[in-house]
Amino acid sequence: MRDPAVIPTRRTCPFDPPGEYARLREQDPVSRVEFQVTPNGMTGWLVTRHDDVRAVLADPRFSRRNELLAHVLAPTFPIDSYDPPAAEPGAFNKMDAPEHTRYRKMLAGYFSVRRTRELEPLIEKVAADCLDAMAATGSPADLLAEYAEPLPSRVMCEMIGVPEADRRSILHHFSVIFRLTYTVAELIDSVGVVTELFTSLVRRKLAEGGEDILGVLASSGEMSEQELVNIAWVLIGGAFDTTTNMLALGTFALLENPDQAALLRKQPELMDNAIEELLRYLTISHLGASRCAIEDVTVNGTAIEAGQTVVVSLPAANRDPAKYDAPDRLDLARSARGHVAFGYGPHQCIGQHHARIVLKVGFRALLDRFPDLRLAVPAGAIETSEDVQHYGVRALPVAWN
């Protein structure tokens, strides 16, 4: 029996996943890992090859139900036992079919390719407003704070119906919740504030309706207050830091690969392709996705017992040389089809098309507005964030002439 390891999280390059993944993918693609949940720990499995990751995520014998999954990293405060609750009504990202399917069908229309394309004028306006404000601030500026954070958060808040007065508070408290290190007091405070804001918002929508997502859902009479609050948690929580981190980290990667940025400026028709390659190359969901085997399953010759948690590494899968030639090279002209940056299978990110259009407009507007954009500090001085659920930078100082 192999001794369990721990899930790698330490990076030596800001754009590459932990180097240990390459060894595991080659030598131990379904490896035993220890989840530091309680003083005694729990063991499960880590999957690192592209084909195996997709197989697990598509297999109905692996569950996403919250009450079945182990906590994969050590909690930041003492815990004697771990007994996760079942997902509350509306928290469909922690459910299986048929409940998960029912909620996704009710929301899918808001995040279709057609609907997201209709948002392009709004995204362009918000991007222009943010870039105007950044230009007015003057060079240098923090691209994360001035552009990468406000662009996706303002767009999603407009879609869902979050009033402007609440947005800064929600953004701040989600930044605490998404950390991997926090105190009990910090977590309780941030969860409490966000829940209170969402509850107040949902009650207004139930009373007044609206043309935004929450307003339409509230007017339908098909969902309870609790369901709508939890849907707000899923949609806003899923959008606030993910697209933000991709936009900032992607800009960092382009500035450190000027030949690729030049290619994108010379051939703007490559933008859609470039977004897929950046998603593959950077894969900000650095902890991957967790599933629980609900019956005995074999993955790549390894027996997984019912009840065991399996973590699939999305960054490792997207750098698999069996799937992509020279996977550690950023190549905006390559086809990155089949990447798993948004997951795969029934739980694949419901907002993937929305994220793509925000990134497309966001990068296009930035490159057009500041053709001589550059880092304002040495690349080695850029601090990355490994202690959050979605990898990114803590700040991105940039300059222009």
Given a cut of 90, whether residue 9 has pLDDT beyond it is: no
Flag whether pLDDT at 25 surpasses 90: yes
Mean pLDDT of the chain: 92
Q: Which tens digit of pLDDT belongs to each residue from 125-179?
A: 999 999 999 999 999 999 999 999 999 999 999 999 999 999 999 988 988 888 8
Q: What pLDDT is attached to residue 38?
A: 53
Q: State the pLDDT at residue 1.
A: 47
Domain residue ranges of the chain, discontinuous segments joined by +: 20-399
Kindly tell me the sign of the dihedral angle through the C-alpha atoms of 184, 84, 3, 327. Answer: negative
Residue-wise pLDDT for 58-97, tens only, equals: 999 999 999 998 766 555 555 566 677 899 999 999 999 9
Asked if 195 contacts 229 with a C-beta cutoff of 8 angstroms, the reply is yes
The whole-model pTM stands at 0.94
Mean pLDDT value of segment 188-215? 94
Instruction: Select from 334, 169, 358 the least CA-distant residue to 260.
Output: 334
Digit-coded pLDDT (tens) for 28-46: 999 998 876 554 557 889 9
Omega cis (within 30) before 17? no
Helix orientation angle between 225-240 and 184-208, rounded to the nearest 10 degrees:
120
Higher-pLDDT residue of 191, 2 = 191
DSSP per-residue string spanning 343-366 = --GGGS-TTHHHHHHHHHHHHHHH
356 or 79, which is more confident?
356
pLDDT higher than 90, residue 287: no
pLDDT reading at 236 higher than 80: yes
179-213 exposure pattern, b = at least 16 Cβ within 10 A, e = fewer: beebeeebbeebeebbeebbeebbebbbeebeebb
Instruction: Please give the pLDDT value at position 295.
Output: 97
Distances (CA, A) of 140 to 135, 244, 362, 397, 400: 9, 19, 19, 6, 7
Any long-range contacts for 252-259 (C-beta under 8 Å, 24+ apart)? 252/14, 252/15, 252/375, 252/379, 252/382, 252/393, 252/396, 253/15, 253/278, 253/281, 253/282, 253/330, 254/363, 255/373, 255/374, 255/375, 255/398, 256/15, 256/375, 256/379, 257/330
**Cα 221 from Cα 333, distance rounded (Å):** 47
| 31, 58 Cβ separation under 8 angstroms | no
Tell me: pLDDT of 376 over 50. yes
- DSSP-assigned letter for residue 269: G
What is the per-residue pLDDT for 387? 80
Q: In the chain, pLDDT over 70 holds for what percent of residues?
A: 94
Other beta carbons within 10 Å of 69? 20
Q: What is the DSSP string of 116-142?
A: HHHTHHHHHHHHHHHHHHHHHH-SSEE
CATH superfamily assigned to domain 20-399: Cytochrome P450 (1.10.630.10)
Tokens of 273: 């392709």
CA gap 330, 201 in Å, rounded? 42
Q: Report the pLDDT value the prediction gives residue 308, as an integer from 0 to 100.
A: 92
